[in-house]
């Protein structure tokens, strides 16, 4: 019977472990897409034309008036304040991220929603806003224009929100 023994310094194990960590970090950083498309690819973000924008909102079950209530150019700030950080939190929940567009000018298309749960029949109270850059939706929300209104992502609530 033969018995082999060997010594291994901590440094010999530390170097391969560190290289593995660096490799994992590099993989994660370089595997990220530069476009903030929905991770599962289920949502089509095209919004260059009226038809594409209407198709986008219908993916969430929304019905909107076909003519936008407002179209304006918006500058995404280079540095986000508290308000933009909170708004970007809504975007991140939708697999979108406005920080990728810091300093860019985008178009905000605002549409009047006609089928919000609990608001059916009330006109010009609920808006769907979409931020579009180079023909793609990069962010947006659904909000109430009322004094104590609400704001949330594109997903349609299944029950009416409390008024």
**22 part of a folded domain:** no
**104 part of a folded domain:** yes
**10 part of a folded domain:** no
> Domain range spanning residue 136?
50-152
DSSP-based three-state secondary structure for 143:
strand
**142 part of a folded domain:** yes
Q: How many structural domains does the chain have?
A: 1
8-21 CB burial, b ≥16 within 10 A, e <16: eeeeeeeeeeeeee
DSSP string, 102-135: TT-EEEEEEEEBS--TT-TT-TTSEEEEEEEETT
Number of H helices, E strands in the chain: 3, 5
The encoded tokens of residue 113 equal 């929603």
Number of neighbours of residue 120 by Cβ within 10 angstroms:
10
28 to 16, 21, 65, 101, 156: CA distances (angstroms): 19, 11, 42, 20, 32
**44 part of a folded domain:** no
What pLDDT sits at residue 50?
Answer: 96
**36 part of a folded domain:** no
**57 part of a folded domain:** yes
What does each of the 163 residues of the chain score in pLDDT, given as a tens digit? 666 555 655 545 434 444 444 443 333 333 333 333 344 458 999 999 999 999 999 999 999 999 999 999 999 999 999 999 999 999 999 999 999 999 999 999 999 999 999 998 888 999 999 999 999 999 999 999 999 999 999 999 977 666 5
Cα 20 off chain centre by = 31
**37 part of a folded domain:** no
What is the value of pTM for the model shown? 0.73
Kindly give, in sequence order, each residue whose CB lies less than 8 Å from that of residue 84, ignoring residues fewer than 6 positions away: 77, 98
């Amino acid at each position: 019977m033969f018995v082999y023994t060997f010594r291994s310094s901590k440094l010999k194990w530390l170097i391969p472990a560190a290289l593995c960590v660096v490799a994992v970090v590099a993989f994660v950083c370089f595997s990220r897409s530069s476009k903030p498309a929905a991770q599962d690819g289920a949502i089509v973000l095209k919004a260059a034309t009226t038809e594409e924008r209407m198709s986008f909102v219908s993916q969430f079950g929304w019905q909107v008036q076909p003519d936008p209530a407002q179209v304006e150019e918006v500058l995404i700030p280079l540095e986000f304040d508290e308000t933009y950080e909170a708004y970007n939190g809504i975007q991140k929940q939708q697999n979108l991220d406005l920080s990728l567009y810091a300093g860019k000018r985008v178009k905000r298309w605002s549409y009047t929603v006609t089928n919000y749960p609990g608001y059916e029949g009330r006109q010009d109270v609920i808006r769907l806003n979409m931020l579009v850059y180079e023909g793609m939706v990069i962010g947006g929300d659904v909000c109430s224009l009322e004094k104590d209104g609400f704001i949330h992502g594109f997903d349609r609530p299944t029950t009416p929100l409390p008024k």
